[in-house]
Homo-oligomer: A and B are copies of this chain.
Amino acid sequence: MEDVVVRVLEKVELKDPVLIVGLPGLGNVAKLAADYLKEAIGATKFVTIYSKYFPPQVYVNESGMIRMVSNDLYYYKAKTPEERNLLILVGDYQGISPEGQYELTDKVLSLVSGMGVRQVFTLAGFAQGHMVENPRVIGAATSNSLIEKMKKLGVVFARNEPGSGLIGASGLFLGLGELYKMESICLMGETSGYFVDPRSAEAVLRILLKTFNMDVDLSDLEAKAKEIDRIASRLRETEAKLVTDTPSTGGPSQPKEDLGYIG
């Protein structure tokens, strides 16, 4: 079989579309944001991608129907002159080997390059190792003009963040995108790294919406974020109680606001 199987469900032509990539990863920030966006704006699936670089797995829904793990491309036609035509890549997995990561990213880039994509926005989480009340969105990009533009929309391009680089699809789309002459940026929502983080996803999404002059109701995402806040808050209380009740071991107690030890 082909290493990456591309099934085109509908032939789509769009003027100057932008690719948005939101695959599973840290805090599930990217997947939460992209899945929410495609639902909220009513984007249409037009490509399904299967690959031997994904796990050999199918999902089963409540009525017993199966679906093979995949990545999927959705399109959205701009409804106002201020909006942009969008392609949104979402999926169940990133490639499970380094080679698979390269092959899958390259295949998608090759496909969307043929559709006229010249700009890519990838989404990601940025692990801080501690709880983040008001997550910033940190950027990394391939051009200074894009950096300057996104700074104005609130994206932070900070020294030594992220120091060690980006690992996985969100970075690779930027790097390989350059070989396709695409300009691209990764938008990383700060997150603890311990929880699924809808608040971080919301922060990322707000930047995206501003960038593309779109208006989307984010209340469902906010509700999810508050639910996670409640869980985290209860965990903090339990911890505080444990710290109080536990005989001191002589060492400094763990700072209460740091949930870093929660697997």
Contact surface of A with B, Cβ cutoff 8 Å: 1, 5, 7, 50-60, 62-69, 95-96, 98-99, 101-103, 105-107, 139-144, 147, 157-169, 171-172, 174-176, 178-179, 186
Contact = CB atoms under 8 A, between A and B. Distances in A.
Contacts of A163: 60
Given A64-B147, A65-B144, A147-B64, A57 B102 contact: no
Contact of A52 (B103, B165, B174): B103
Given A64-B147, A66-B142, A96-B98, A58 B172 contact: yes
Contacts of A167: 55-57
**How many copies of this chain does the complex contain?**
4
13 contacts: A1-B102, A1-B176, A52-B98, A55-B167, A56-B171, A56-B172, A57-B171, A58-B174, A60-B140, A60-B161, A63-B144, A64-B157, A66-B175
A171 B142 CA distance: 35
Contacts of A52: 98-99, 101-103
B98 A140 contact: no
Contacts of A139: 64
Q: Which of A55, A58, A59, A171 has the most CB of B within 10 A?
A: A58
A56 B102 contact: yes
Contacts of A159: 62
A99 B53 contact: yes
**By DSSP majority rule, is chain A's interface helix, strand, loop, or mixed?**
mixed
Contacts of A56: 95, 98, 101-102, 105, 167-169, 171-172
Given A1-B106, A64-B158, 12 more contacts: A1-B176, A5-B179, A50-B176, A56-B101, A56-B167, A56-B169, A60-B161, A66-B142, A66-B186, A68-B172, A68-B174, A68-B178
8 closest residue pairs by CB, A with B: A68-B175, A64-B157, A52-B102, A56-B101, A58-B171, A1-B106, A59-B165, A60-B140
A54 B162 contact: no
A84 to B, nearest CB: 22
A129 to B, nearest CB: 18
A7 B142 CA distance: 17
B98 A165 contact: no
A239 to B, nearest CB: 23
Contacts of A157: 63-64
Contacts of A7: 179
A118 to B, nearest CB: 17
Nearest to A188: B60
